[in-house]
């Protein structure tokens, strides 16, 4: 990852004051990746589990690094060294000091599923009407988010930022860093459960966003999610949902194959192709309306939104309908996606292509088994699986008389699929990011 620093003059004055003992040259950007170093960059040498960034410091200097952050003092180095106990902790500390000079309010979004799409949608809606700082992609980690803060300009009405967590304590760390006034948790499911042991601990982790709201903070509460509904709130609450009385009540209705979302009985003037997207839209709408945007402005902006790749995009290729849900996977997101796939065209053949779900720890076998049982209930026409764990899913499907085949390579799935496809087929593709299921998407002829 590499970013360009937006407020160059301010930043160089800031970091010179932060390190008055060093004679720093001008810094133009920051990176943690030695392969992406550009002239004038500040390079952070991070010590990882598999790769140690310190090993690549000579290459970064040759590439033009202006200074390096290192945990070890090095000899015969021609650029200034910022010597720290932990490069990661230093990045967080530097970002916190930098971000404290920005005064516009922060809207922070987290959750197990849908947080990136909700963030992107809210940013799109708001930026059509206000000056909005946002970060492209899902740089939501304790490395990606602090780095991204240096790419944001001062002249904004709001910042819309995504925060994620792979292990306990990360939401608290990021909330303390960005100090959000507004917080939204999309939902609580068993994502990354291998690092949390159980879903209750995931809920505790996510709740730290609401606990960290500053000033006259507002927590946007998905009232349909029991884990969120039962959290303790120390701030004002704005509620949204589909099933209960709340501030922003959603309803999906339509005919002739077209489904529309109504919010407080006002129609969003674009069809909704999935229930997951309806939930994301309702969440984004509740925030946009609360900060002052009218229904018409929000609805008009939703019409022009383009869904990020791999998050349930519907692609029409030749005579097929492909649902690209390849970005990532956990049990609940897979179930939600399969539901949407089965509903999209019930009179056509449905083909599910499922890759392994990662970061489940001791729950790995159980979740892949439950997925197989759920797929069996939905009765698709064909199931193709890939990976080290989805053979469990495939076996369950076979035992329930669902046509299912397990593969050990992307190419074998592609070859088999292309022989099977007929006009009108609906193909749903899902798997964790590390499974690279988008290769299958590209291979469909």
Residues 170-193 pLDDT 10s: 999 999 999 999 999 999 987 666
> Is the pLDDT score of 1 beyond 80?
yes
Amino acid 417: pLDDT? 94
Average pLDDT over residues 136-157: 92
Average pLDDT over residues 22-49: 94
Q: Residue written as tokens 């809920």?
A: 203
Structure tokens at 171: 């939401």
1-15, 128-142, 225-239, 365-379: lowest mean pLDDT where?
128-142
Amino acid 256: pLDDT? 65
> What band does 412 get if pLDDT is binned at 50, 70 and 90?
very high
Amino acid 95: pLDDT? 97
Q: Backbone dihedral region of 330: left (phi > 0), alpha (psi from -120 to 50 degrees) or beta?
A: beta
CB 219 within 8 A of CB 111: no
Average pLDDT over residues 308-329: 89
Q: Distance between CA atoms of 283 and 114, rounded to whole angstroms?
A: 10
CB 286 within 8 A of CB 238: yes
Average pLDDT over residues 314-322: 90
β 158-162/132-134 pair status = parallel
Buried b (16+ CB within 10 A) or exposed e, 316-342: eeeebbbbbbbbbbbbbbbbbbbebbb
> Is the pLDDT score of 58 beyond 90?
yes
Q: Distance between CA atoms of 232 and 337, rounded to whole angstroms?
A: 30
> Is the pLDDT score of 210 beyond 90?
yes
Q: Distance between CA atoms of 152 and 3, rounded to whole angstroms?
A: 10
pLDDT (tens digit per residue) in 80-92: 999 999 999 999 9
SS (H, E, C) 54-65: HHHHHHHHHCCC
> Is the pLDDT score of 318 beyond 90?
no
Average pLDDT over residues 15-38: 94
Average pLDDT over residues 192-206: 83
Amino acid 384: pLDDT? 97
pLDDT (tens digit per residue) in 229-286: 999 898 999 999 999 899 999 999 976 668 899 999 999 988 887 888 999 999 999 9
> What band does 311 get if pLDDT is binned at 50, 70 and 90?
confident
Share of residues in the chain with pLDDT > 90 (%)? 79
Amino acid 317: pLDDT? 87
In order of start, what are the domains of the chain with their CATH numbers?
2-85 (3.40.1390.10), 102-303 (3.40.1190.10), 313-443 (3.90.190.20)
SS (H, E, C) 155-183: CCCEEEEECCCCCCCHHHHHHHHHCCCEE
Report which of 69, 24, 63 is spatially closest to residue 46, judged by C-alpha positions: 69
Amino acid 132: pLDDT? 97
Angle subtended by helix axes 275-290 and 115-127, to nearest 10: 40
Report which of 7, 51, 15, 18 is spatially closest to residue 32, judged by C-alpha positions: 51
Amino acid 440: pLDDT? 95
> What band does 310 get if pLDDT is binned at 50, 70 and 90?
confident
Buried b (16+ CB within 10 A) or exposed e, 177-210: bbbbbbbbbbbbbbbbbbbbeebeebbbbbbbbb
The whole model's pTM is what? Answer: 0.89
Amino acid 257: pLDDT? 67
Average pLDDT over residues 106-124: 95
> In degrees rounded to 5, what are phi and psi of residue 238?
-120, 120
Question: What is the enclosing helix (H) or strand (E) of 289?
Answer: helix 275-290
Average pLDDT over residues 9-33: 94
Amino acid 258: pLDDT? 80
């Amino acid at each position: 990852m590499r970013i360009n620093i937006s407020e160059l003059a301010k930043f160089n004055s800031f970091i010179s004051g932060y390190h008055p003992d060093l004679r720093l040259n001008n810094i133009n950007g920051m990176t943690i990746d030695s392969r992406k170093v550009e002239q004038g960059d500040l390079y952070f040498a991070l010590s990882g589990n598999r790769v140690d960034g310190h090993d690549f410091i000579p290459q970064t200097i040759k590439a033009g690094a202006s200074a390096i952050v290192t945990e070890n003092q090095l000899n015969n180095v021609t650029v200034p060294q910022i010597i720290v106990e932990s490069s990661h902790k230093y990045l967080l500390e530097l970002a916190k000091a930098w971000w404290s000079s920005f005064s516009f309010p922060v809207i922070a979004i987290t959750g197990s599923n849908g947080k990136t799409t909700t963030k992107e949608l809210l940013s799109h809606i708001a930026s059509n009407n206000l000056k909005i700082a946002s970060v492209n992609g899902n740089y939501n980690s304790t490395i990606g988010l602090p780095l991204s803060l240096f790419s944001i300009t001062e002249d904004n009405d709001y910042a819309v930022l995504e925060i994620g967590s792979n292990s306990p304590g990360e939401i608290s760390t990021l909330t303390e860093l960005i100090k959000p006034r507004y917080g939204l948790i999309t939902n609580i499911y068993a994502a990354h459960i291998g690092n949390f042991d159980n879903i209750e601990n995931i809920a505790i982790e996510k709740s730290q966003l609401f606990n960290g709201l500053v000033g006259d903070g507002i927590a946007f509460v998905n009232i349909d999610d029991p884990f969120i509904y039962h959290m303790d709130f120390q701030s004002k609450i704005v509620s949204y949902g589909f099933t209960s009385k709340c501030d922003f009540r959603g309803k999906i209705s339509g005919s002739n194959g077209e489904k529309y979302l109504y919010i407080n009985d006002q129609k969003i003037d674009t069809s909704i192709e999935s229930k997951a997207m309806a939930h994301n839209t309702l969440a984004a709408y509740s925030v946009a309306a609360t900060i002052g945007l009218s229904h018409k402005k929000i609805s008009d902006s939703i019409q022009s939104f383009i869904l990020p790749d791999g998050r349930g995009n519907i692609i029409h290729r030749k005579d097929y309908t492909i649902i690209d849900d390849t970005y990532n996977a956990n049990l609940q997101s897979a179930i939600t996606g399969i539901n949407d796939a089965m509903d999209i065209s019930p009179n056509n053949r449905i083909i599910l292509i499922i890759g392994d779900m990662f970061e489940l720890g001791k729950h790995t076998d159980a979740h892949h088994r439950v997925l197989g049982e759920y797929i069996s209930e939905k009765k698709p026409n064909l199931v193709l699986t890939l990976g080290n764990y989805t053979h469990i899913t495939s076996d369950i499907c076979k035992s329930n008389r669902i046509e299912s085949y397990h593969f050990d390579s992307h190419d074998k799935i592609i070859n088999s699929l292309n022989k099977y496809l007929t006009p009108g087929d609906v193909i749903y593709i899902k798997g964790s990011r590390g499974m690279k299921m988008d290769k299958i998407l590209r291979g469909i002829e």
